[in-house]
Amino acid sequence: MSESGKILVAAIDFGTTYSGYAFSLRSDFEKDPCKISSHNWTAASRGLVSLKTPTSILLNPQQEFESFGYEAEDRYTALANEDIHHEWFYFRRFKMMLHGSLGLKRDIMVKTFDNKKELPALKIFSMAIRYLKDNLLTTLNKSVEILADDIQWVLTVPAIWNDPAKQFMREAAQKAGIKEDNLLIALEPEAASMFCKYMPVEKGEHSFQSFQPGSKYMVLDCGGGTVDITVHQVQKDKTLIELYKASGGAWGGTQVDEAFRQLIVKIIGNPIFLKFCDENAADFVDMFREFELKKREFKGDGNKKVTIKVPVSLKETFEKETEETIQDALTQTAYSTKLTWTADKLRISGLLFATLFEIATGNIIEHVKKLLKEPEVKGTTNIIMVGGFSESHMIQAKVKEAFPNMNVIIPAEAGLSVLKGAVIFGHLPKAISARKAKYTYGLATMTKFVKGKHREDKKEIIGNQVKCKDIFSVHVEKGETLELDKAQSERSYNPVEPEQKEIIFQFYITDSDDPMYVTDSGCTHIGKMVVKIPDTSGGLDRQVKVQLIFGGTELKVKAIIEKTNQEVTAKLQFLDKK
């Protein structure tokens, strides 16, 4: 049974390289959870039809939305071919700017593809989400009339993202016209896990008898930008719990693209490559479209050569600037026997092409090996590979080779697992019943100064009270099990002044288990919490009980005046300046 009170659940998978959407009616979900519709996108320039479209957006010189996806790529390429693209704003693969950015603020800027202009990131993200939302509504209204309030929206984010990045995506969605109460944030590997729960997954010699109570499995979500890893165990009630905190890194498919770019740079030099990008933007886009196809097709055969079509303008730029031929340049590199470059064809030996995957696969395999040694993860025998990069034969082969005793499963729709799983999550948001804390979370507070216990430089006199400032008041410890919708922590705080109408707490995280002060090494400020206490009649005697609820995909807060048991407004603000 769907737990959503809405008629329809719609999910947007906003990826680093590709994006898309999917949806299902509550009535359909209750009959068949896997009856999920997605949209087919057409790349007009190549006649390709795909289930996702590139995360590329084009704005006109007036900074107004022009196009998204394949349309944006094709339009920008056409403008660049006529050399009239310089005043336009073209963005691609911009999602990764949010990865690992603990100091993320609402006014952060994002650079255009050519690095020459920049605009507020919130504007670009919200325009992209608005396009996907409006396209979905147009598709829906061709067959069924659905009002905006009848839809439960779900937006996917990597599980390794921090709280400011999640809040940024939520605000971008609200700016795109999705109401706050109608939006859920889904963590990508969790969504994929839920999709696999309903799919008959069978691969190779082993059939995957998962989702029996007690079974453990690892979800390896390899996307364009990030690789996101979670480990789940099935409970008696068939809900899932996270056994180890979500982890991973920026080891997605774009790492392979970067390795290819570096290969070209080593042959022609960085200044010439930058000049080529600047003067031949359309050719650059085409070259990496071509490389994307070869990257997906490559099976790791060292004896077969990979032929990539490269723009003639790249060779011409090099020869004009250096007055030497590409062939001459190649003989001076370590690649002279491993590749040939003739006109618009680059022929690379299979062994050399395989090395382009080494950084990504090396990081993934090393991290998974480390995870499997963790006490909580021991006994895990299944790895489910999902995400677009998991469709690469090379990645699949490397993972299977590294873990011969593991049952490595790749669902038939690995690239759509996150998207379709996000729809299922929208119907069953309580299916993940517990998660693990990625950090130690706490608030900066004051306490009574105790000589000998507290540092002298932390002493502060307020009125007739001697206080110790910058105390790290721990609410949740790293690795702690966080049950869904349950207040994991409850602390009481008092105003420091009788007329105070709000208490502002600065929010911190650390990898340490037992921090003393928020200024200790490794402590990072990630936002603030504002608790409104407008009734000042109690003076200093207005103790406020603060509850932080961590078990969902986003952090929530609740504040209660202890004397009156009255709940007061409390908000977490991760994107404001300190």
| Beta bridge partners of residue 5, listed in sequence order | none
Nearest to 218 by CA among 250, 186, 193: 193
pLDDT tens per residue across all 578 residues of the chain: 777 788 999 999 999 999 999 999 999 999 998 899 998 898 766 656 688 999 999 999 999 999 999 999 999 999 988 989 999 999 999 998 888 766 788 999 999 998 899 999 999 999 999 999 999 999 988 878 888 789 999 999 998 898 899 999 999 999 999 999 999 999 999 999 888 877 664 444 444 454 678 888 999 999 999 999 999 988 888 888 999 999 999 999 999 999 999 999 999 999 999 998 888 888 888 898 889 888 988 988 878 899 999 999 998 898 888 888 888 888 888 888 899 998 889 999 999 999 999 999 999 999 999 999 999 998 898 899 999 999 999 999 999 999 999 999 998 888 899 999 999 999 999 889 889 999 999 999 999 999 999 999 999 998 888 999 999 999 899 999 998 888 877 888 888 888 889 888 899 999 998 899 999 999 999 999 888 888 888 888 888 888 888 878 888 888 898 888 888 878 888 988 76
Residue 103: Cβ-neighbour burial (10 angstroms; 0-12, 13-18, 19+): exposed
Q: What pLDDT is attached to residue 578?
A: 64
Token couple for 524: 């990072």
Q: 248: helix, coil or strand?
A: strand
- CATH code of the domain occupying 8-199+415-434: 3.30.420.40
The C-alpha atoms of residue 389 and residue 300 are separated, in whole angstroms, by 15
Taking a C-beta distance cutoff of 8 angstroms, is the pair 352, 213 a contact?
no
Class of domain 437-573: mainly beta
Q: What pLDDT is attached to residue 43?
A: 74
Token couple for 577: 């300046």
Token couple for 79: 């403008």
Q: Which amino acid is at 341?
A: W
In the chain, what is the greatest distance between 2 CA atoms, to the nearest angstrom? 85
The C-alpha atoms of residue 175 and residue 373 are separated, in whole angstroms, by 43
The C-alpha atoms of residue 362 and residue 40 are separated, in whole angstroms, by 34
Query: Does 8-199+415-434 match 437-573 in CATH topology?
Result: no
Tell me, letter by letter, the H, E, C secondary structure of 31-71. Answer: HCCCCCEECCEEECCCCEEECCEECEEEECCCCCEEEECHH
Q: What pLDDT is attached to residue 257?
A: 94
Threshold 0.85, pTM exceeds: yes
Radius of gyration of the chain from Cα atoms?
26
The C-alpha atoms of residue 528 and residue 546 are separated, in whole angstroms, by 13
Give residue for tokens 């959870």: 33
Strands 459-462 and 465-476, by their bridges, are antiparallel
Cβ-based neighbours of 360, under 8 Å, separated by 6 or more: 227, 251, 252, 253, 255, 256, 259, 389, 395
Residue 65: Cβ-neighbour burial (10 angstroms; 0-12, 13-18, 19+): middle
The C-alpha atoms of residue 239 and residue 200 are separated, in whole angstroms, by 18
Domain residue extents for the chain: 8-199+415-434, 254-355, 437-573
Sign of torsion over alpha carbons 20, 26, 28, 34: positive
